[in-house]
Amino acid sequence: MKKTAAILLLFASLGLLSHAGEPKLSVAGQPSFDFGTHPSNHKKEAVFIIRNTGDSLLEIKGVNKTCGGCVEISVSEKEILPEKTTEIRLTLVPGTLSGPYTKNFFIETNDPEQRFFKFTFSGTAVSVAEIKPSNLMYIGKIDPGTACKRVFLVVPAEKGTVFGEPVAECNYPVNVSSSRSDKGLNIIFGFLPEKNIGDMKCRIKVPVLKPEGWPPLEIFISATIADPNNSGILPEEKRKKEINSHDASVVIEYFHQAGCGDCRMIDTFIILKMEENFKGRFKIEKYDTAIMDNFLRFAYRRDKLDIKGNETVCMIVNGKHAFNGYKNIETGLLKQIESSLKQNEKPDTSFNITNAADKEQMLKKHADNITLGALIVAGLIDGINPCVFSTLVFFMSILAVSGVKGRKLVFFGSVYCISCFLTYLLLGLGIFRFIKLFSGYETMQMIINRGMFALLVVFAILSFRDAWLYRKTGSAASVILQLPGFLKNRIHKIIREGTHFKHLAAGALVTGFLVTLLESVCTGQVYLPALALLAKQYPSSIKWLFYLILYNVMFIIPLLAMFLAAYAGTGLATMVKWSKRDVVVGKILLGVLFLGLAVLMILF
């Protein structure tokens, strides 16, 4: 018993000795880098140094690239102790940039003052050649049997550049030939679709023989093949009749960064197809994610729609259907637009309620409200835990036998409640800091969250089982989740001794302290998950302390109510009836609470 008390006191002392520190991100030097003018096939690197100038662990939760495939970004250490640094290394992918560029990327941290921090890199990438009119071309809609011809000119940046023969990779038979002139390499593309087997997609690769070290140049060509028997977006007349039966339109949020390769493909291929199929029935809202407010808007949608992956482009239909990355946009966007129009679907405009900064605060407030409600309920249910309630009834019987009543009862009860409150609060402080010590690390945080979820589900099942069996048998022996017999006996002994102290205040203080420590073996079923939820929800904010105090206030309310009931003349027999009834009601409420906390552990 002494060992148990010593361990519990250790947790409490940890709470007293610790303080609620916060991480703080700072950058050594400038958060921007200029690569200058360089050949686009050269590998270029830049390094940014981040320092944690706060007094608790700084976490790099993620890196959000707005340039996608043009850069590779690595972080040497994602968990940074106070006054330590980490290195962010940025590497340009050869051959992915052309001409002047200015790009950004964001890191997401647990710094409460700056969740997202922006870095910028710029330069001018010189390509080996220019393709005219463009290396991206959407021909439009072609009827089967209609011949199509397009000519491209590859203009070298320097004399002495030698190109090889172009090679075509297409899903239709095509003719590709080339000829050389003083201006460069002429590429002639010929196409005659005999029947419809889907949209035409073609990639032409032009090898660069001199200078060495350059990847092949690429030309992308696409066309829509008209066919009235097609079961896809076409036939056009039938589709228009269906979608025009509703006065509907869709809103498409287009998250991108100016100049990215995938953005050019969307502008060339996807948007033109949208115009062909749904002209006047959609509105595109473009958001350059290099702008912080736009990036926060995307972060809001990303969290709400559970968007995975770090792609350069993302298009969201009506705020409800996300297509992240060019491939997903190419294969799914048009079908979703058609479906949303047919259903007359209304767009989700929740982000338009206020500006981006206020929206970020709204998200935090939403999570705060969920946590606040959960902790109020958890604290109150913890206070009527059958373990606690049965001890209270025994306590009242001892006080009645000892002649403690009237003003004496009010005084003794007040000191006892204060002692219980402070003991439980200090115990919670210690356990909270102990959880945070490990939850600062990703792996440990995952283990704690998943372990707590599994434990809560088990507790919920056992609570419902206890309620059913006790209602059926009326026997306390059938209850699994209760204080062990030896602890009950120890608590009863402490209560008897406490009421015979020479000084009533000292007796109430000591009794409250020891009883609360021993009861925590049972009440910890609720307290520990609630503390884990706090540690997860508020890893660096001081708000957790306010919520912890609130939880303990709710925990003590049933205790105060019992003393007031006794003072008002409620008899011991009535309290015993309450105690028996409380087993079933309390266990059911505990089961519901455990399931609720389990859901919160997963969702938040």
pLDDT of residue 514: 74
6 belongs to a structural domain:
no
Contact 392, 562 (CB under 8 A): yes
* Co-location of 182 and 250 in the same domain: no
Q: Which of 26-35, 180-189, 301-310, 359-368 has the lowest mean pLDDT?
A: 359-368
364 belongs to a structural domain:
yes
* Co-location of 78 and 219 in the same domain: no
593 belongs to a structural domain:
yes
* Co-location of 28 and 169 in the same domain: no
**How deeply is 231 buried, as exposed, middle or buried, from its count of CB atoms within 10 A (0-12, 13-18, 19+)?**
exposed
Q: What is the pLDDT of the chain when averaged over all its residues?
A: 75
Q: Express each pLDDT in 559-594 by its tens digit.
A: 787 777 766 666 555 655 555 555 566 667 666 756
Which residues partner with 87 through β-bridges? Answer: 49
CATH number, domain of 318, equals 3.40.30.10
Count of CB atoms situated within 10 Å of the CB of 584: 18
- The secondary structure of 300-330, three-state, reads HHHHHHCCCCCCCCEEEECCCEEEECHHHHH
More confident site: 383 or 305: 305
Mean pLDDT, to the nearest integer, of 288-292? 76
Q: Express each pLDDT in 394-407 by its tens digit.
A: 666 666 656 666 67
10 belongs to a structural domain:
no
116 belongs to a structural domain:
yes
Alpha-carbon gap, residue 593 to 28, rounded angstroms:
47
pLDDT of residue 15: 42
Alpha-carbon gap, residue 436 to 442, rounded angstroms:
11
Mean pLDDT, to the nearest integer, of 312-318? 89
pLDDT of residue 603: 52
The helix or strand, by DSSP H or E, that contains position 286, with its residue range, turns out to be strand 282-288
Look up residue 145 and give its two tokens.
Answer: 């049997």
pLDDT of residue 6: 43
DSSP result, 171-225: SS-EEEEEEE-SS-EEEEEEE--SS-SS-EEEEEEE-EEESTTPPPEEEEEEEEE
Q: Domains in the chain: how many in total? A: 4
More confident site: 555 or 309: 555
* Co-location of 488 and 528 in the same domain: yes
More confident site: 297 or 248: 297
Residue 5 pLDDT level (bands cut at 50, 70, 90): very low
- Do you know the residue count of the chain? 604
542 belongs to a structural domain:
yes
* Co-location of 404 and 387 in the same domain: yes
Q: Express each pLDDT in 194-233 by its tens digit.
A: 877 778 899 999 999 999 888 899 999 999 888 655 544 4
Q: Express each pLDDT in 420-472 by its tens digit.
A: 888 888 888 877 777 766 554 455 556 666 766 676 677 678 777 777 776 77
Q: Is residue 188 predicted with pLDDT exceeding 60?
A: yes
**Which of residues 227, 260, 289 is at a domain's end?**
227
Residue 27 pLDDT level (bands cut at 50, 70, 90): very high
pLDDT of residue 582: 55
Residue 47 pLDDT level (bands cut at 50, 70, 90): very high
Q: Is residue 363 predicted with pLDDT exceeding 60?
A: no
* Co-location of 328 and 398 in the same domain: no
**Which of residues 312, 333, 353 is at a domain's end?**
353
Contact 131, 219 (CB under 8 A): yes
Which residues partner with 550 through β-bridges? Answer: none
3 belongs to a structural domain:
no
Contact 93, 48 (CB under 8 A): no
Q: Is residue 154 predicted with pLDDT exceeding 60?
A: yes
Q: Is residue 110 predicted with pLDDT exceeding 70?
A: yes
Q: What are phi and psi of 286, to 5 degrees?
A: -90, 135
The residue segments making up the domain with residue 253 are 231-353
* Co-location of 553 and 452 in the same domain: yes
Q: Is residue 366 predicted with pLDDT exceeding 80?
A: no
pLDDT of residue 384: 67
Going from the C-alpha of 329 to that of each of 253, 269, 348, the distances in angstroms are 12, 11, 19
- Judged by DSSP in three states, 520 sits in helix
pLDDT of residue 348: 84
pLDDT of residue 482: 59
DSSP result, 74-94: EES-SEE-TT-EEEEEEEEPT
* Co-location of 443 and 557 in the same domain: yes
Mean pLDDT, to the nearest integer, of 241-254? 70
Q: What are phi and psi of 248, to 5 degrees?
A: -120, 155
CATH number, domain of 35, equals 2.60.40.10
* Co-location of 119 and 135 in the same domain: no
* Co-location of 26 and 120 in the same domain: yes
Q: Express each pLDDT in 496-540 by its tens digit.
A: 555 554 555 676 677 777 767 766 656 566 677 777 767 666 655
pLDDT of residue 316: 94
pLDDT of residue 480: 63
* Co-location of 300 and 183 in the same domain: no
More confident site: 87 or 3: 87
11 belongs to a structural domain:
no
**Which of residues 78, 101, 126 is at a domain's end?**
126
* Co-location of 304 and 388 in the same domain: no
